[in-house]
Amino acid sequence: MRYKMLVAYDGTDFHGWQTQNRPGKPSLRTVQEVMEKAVTTVVREPVNIIGASRTDSGVHSKGQVATFATTNEIPPEKLIMGINSWLPDDVQVRKIEHTDDSFNPIDDCTSKGYRYQLAHGCSNPLRKPLFDRRYIAYTAFELDLGLMNEAATLFEGEHDFSGFTKLNHGRESTLRRIDSCKVESAGEGVLNIDISGEGFLWNMVRIIAGTLLEVGRGKIAPEEIPAIIESGERMRAGKTLPAHGLFLEWVSFD
C-alpha cells in the first residue's frame, strides 16, 4: 500500500527536510529522518519517505506532501494517530490517504507555494518580533509595499535564475517558471511575500525576498529587476534573507 501524507513542521531545530548522513559522525536531525523512524515503528518495517520539497535548514512547512509504501495495510485514520504519537512536538502529520502506486511527490508536482514573513521598520526595538520571532524575519528599514509589488510582478514568467541561487546549487538547469509573486500587508509593520511556481533553486525564494527588500528601501528600482535577472550575477541581487521567515505553504499536483 502506498500512502500520501500532508506534513507540517517547525523547521527551527531541523537541518532541513532531507536525511543527511555523515560518515563517522552522528547524522544531523532532519524531518525525513524523524518521520521515517516514526512510520517504521508504526508499520513495523523499514520505509523510505519521499517529500515533494527539500526545504533548507530552518525553513518551516504547512503543506509538505510526502509518500511511503508498506506491505501492511492500515486504515488511514489509525495510521495518522499512530505516526503522530511517535513524532516529536515540532512535526505533525495533518492528513493521510491511500494513493496510486505510481504517485511520486517530486515528479508529479506541478507547482509549489512559499510565503516569506517579514517585519519592517524595526529600528525601534519594540517593533521587533518577540513571541513569533522564530517565524518572522525583520529589518530596520521601513519598506514601500507599492514599489515591492511593482518589482514582484517582474519575476513572473520563465527566466534563468542563475543569479538567484548559490554557486554550488547542483542543478543542471537554472531555468524556472514563477506563476505568481506578490507582496501584501499582514498587519502593522509586517508583510508577506508570496511566491508560487513549478520549482525553485537553492535559496531562490529567500534571495528574491532579499531583492524585494532592497526595492522596498529604495536601493533598487523596480525597473532594474529584468536586467538583474538577465545578468545572472549573484552580486546584483539582494542578500539571502534568514531561513526562519520562510514557509512552504502548499504543493499542487495535476
What are the tens digits of pLDDT across the range 82-113? Answer: 999 999 999 999 999 999 999 999 999 999 99
What's residue 168's pLDDT? Answer: 65
Cell of 50: 519521499
Which stretches of 1-141 are assigned E, i.e. beta strand? Answer: 2-9, 50-51, 60-69, 91-98, 109-119, 137-138
Cell of 66: 510526502
Residue 61 clears pLDDT 90, i.e. is over it: yes
What digits encode the pLDDT tens for the residues 187-226? Answer: 999 999 999 999 999 999 999 999 999 999 999 999 999 9
What's residue 167's pLDDT? Answer: 73
Cα distances from 5 to residues 63, 93, 164, in angstroms, run 10, 7, 31
**Domains delineated in the chain:** 2-98 (3.30.70.580), 110-253 (3.30.70.660)
Q: What is the mean pLDDT of the chain?
A: 95
What's residue 63's pLDDT? Answer: 96
pLDDT band at 169 (very low <50, low <70, confident <90, very high): low
Residue in this structure with the C-alpha cell 538567484, named with its chain if needed:
164
Amino acid symbol at 210? G
Euclidean distance between CA atoms 118 and 186, whole angstroms: 9
Euclidean distance between CA atoms 83 and 50, whole angstroms: 16
Cell of 136: 518572522
Euclidean distance between the first and final Cα of the chain, in Å? 21
3-state secondary structure of 134: coil
What's residue 21's pLDDT? Answer: 77
Residue 12 clears pLDDT 90, i.e. is over it: yes
DSSP annotation of 27 reads P
Burial group, residue 117, by CB count within 10 angstroms (0-12, 13-18, 19+): buried
Residue 75 clears pLDDT 80, i.e. is over it: yes
What's residue 226's pLDDT? Answer: 97
Q: Calculate mean pLDDT across residues 16-38.
A: 89
User: Is 56 a catalytic site residue?
Assistant: yes
Is residue 202 within 8 Å of 165, Cβ to Cβ?
yes
What's residue 171's pLDDT? Answer: 64
Which candidate in 10, 56, 90, 194 is catalytic? 56
Q: Give the pTM.
A: 0.94
